[in-house]
Amino acid sequence: MIKKPEILAPAGDFEKLRYAVAYGADAVYMAGKAYGMRTASGNFEYDEMKQAVDHCHKHGVKCFVTVNVMPRSHEIDALPEYLEMLDSIGVDALIVADLGVIPLVKKHAPNVKLHISTQASVVNYSSANMFHQLGADRIVLARELPLHEIVEIRQRTPKELELEAFVHGSMCISYSGRCLLSNFMMGSNRDANHGSCAQPCRWSYALMEEQRHGEYYPVYEDERGTYIFNSRDMCMIDHIPELVNAGVDSFKIEGRAKTSYYAAVITNAYRRAVDLYAQQGEGFKVPENIKEEVYKVSHREYYTGFYFGEQPSEYHEDSKYIRDWDVCAMVQSCDDNGLAHAEQKNKFSLGEEVQLFSPGKDPIDFVVTELYDKDMNPIESTPHPRMELYIKLPCKADDMSIIRKNNKQ
């Protein structure tokens, strides 16, 4: 019998958490307003965190909290109280990177499992075993590891020590996310190791000769300059059997700073693919209709990271995202006749061909034939941001379904 890996989804704020849970996550990871590596995401106020944990547990989903910055001494002083709060609200695990934080977690959050962040750069079995001896329940493996080395780590570590690996999302040009470009170019207020990276790796660069002021020379054969640090995005949707056979227990999706739509679509794709693999076993191949979903979110050119050795990891043309699909509206509720109450995300109109996307189901194409404002007055389009609306769907839709359209039509 195939052991299904955990689908671990990002939850940058409460809305993203709700969509990750609704679309099939086994666990989510999130952060408070401090000690997490993504200050650009909304994150959670302390009073929201208990609500988030309760929402997850109500739906049988685990809730992990990141405490994975490299804290300075003054931050360490305030950490015990924060850890005690996380322990008291029932958080399932804490994700940490700094060695000094580990004993504080064991002392002040004794009921919470300890996960070692990818920031700790675990790339060998000896390091994994050392963290296990210190009390770690799980290792989030360094993204630099090829698959065959993960196999060896699995073979030479205790079975009860879980292994987590990234399977999808943005990649960092720096080793295990430890970068000083942002600090160097933007100052200490944009500290990458405190979650405030300005992403200078995505900027366009050119050479300038000392005596020729104002004359820029492209590093790449393009008059616009070059994106010499710009990484592609990881996508492992085609390689689920290899990851499972290597001993990966948890499939981690990157993206706490990304949208609720991203959380829904990518979580849904890996959820459906993993479930099908568990049913079919040997010879499994991801169906095209599921594989297509990962291209319906905003993304950069995909590749498979470091898992299979040498592959082109950088994309030099530009740092733009590929955005072929737009979200029209998020469904709040729907009656038995298919009349849905929704919130607008992007303008759409009568007569347009759109797609209904729901948890665990194939998307349904349809043409917008009926559209109403919040007072049920007929309208021809939805021009106002976040406006309340009603739309006639081809069937009764689940709450939190999504209406989207292909902007390449």
Q: Are residues 58 and 103 in the same domain?
A: yes
Higher pLDDT, 316 or 64: 64
Residue 47 pLDDT: 85
pLDDT surpassing 90 at residue 254: yes
Question: Is 142 part of any domain?
Answer: yes
Q: What is the mean pLDDT of residues 236-253?
A: 97
Higher pLDDT, 196 or 395: 395
Residue 221 pLDDT: 45
Q: Are residues 108 and 32 in the same domain?
A: yes
Q: Are residues 25 and 98 in the same domain?
A: yes
Higher pLDDT, 202 or 95: 95
Q: What is the CATH number of the domain that holds 392?
A: 2.40.30.10
Residue 178 pLDDT: 60
- pLDDT tens digits, 316-340: 455 567 899 999 999 999 999 999 9
Distances (CA, A) of 396 to 139, 338, 356, 401: 42, 4, 11, 10
pLDDT surpassing 70 at residue 390: yes
Residue 231 pLDDT: 78
Higher pLDDT, 214 or 244: 244
Q: Are residues 207 and 356 in the same domain?
A: no
Q: How confident is the model at residue 188 (pLDDT cuts 50, 70, 90)?
A: low
Q: Are residues 97 and 204 in the same domain?
A: no
Question: Is 88 part of any domain?
Answer: yes
Residue 72 pLDDT: 87
Question: Is 225 part of any domain?
Answer: no
Mean pLDDT of the chain: 89
Q: Are residues 48 and 153 in the same domain?
A: yes
Q: Are residues 157 and 254 in the same domain?
A: yes
Q: Are residues 258 and 347 in the same domain?
A: no
What's the predicted TM-score (pTM) here?
0.87
- pLDDT tens digits, 145-168: 999 999 999 999 999 999 999 999
Q: Are residues 164 and 184 in the same domain?
A: no
Higher pLDDT, 91 or 257: 91
Q: Are residues 248 and 356 in the same domain?
A: no
Q: What is the mean pLDDT of residues 98-122?
A: 96
Q: Are residues 139 and 270 in the same domain?
A: yes
Domain that holds residue 16: 6-171+231-303
Question: Is 318 part of any domain?
Answer: no
Higher pLDDT, 68 or 160: 160
Question: Is 315 part of any domain?
Answer: no
Domain count, the chain: 3
Question: Is 80 part of any domain?
Answer: yes
Residues in the chain: 409
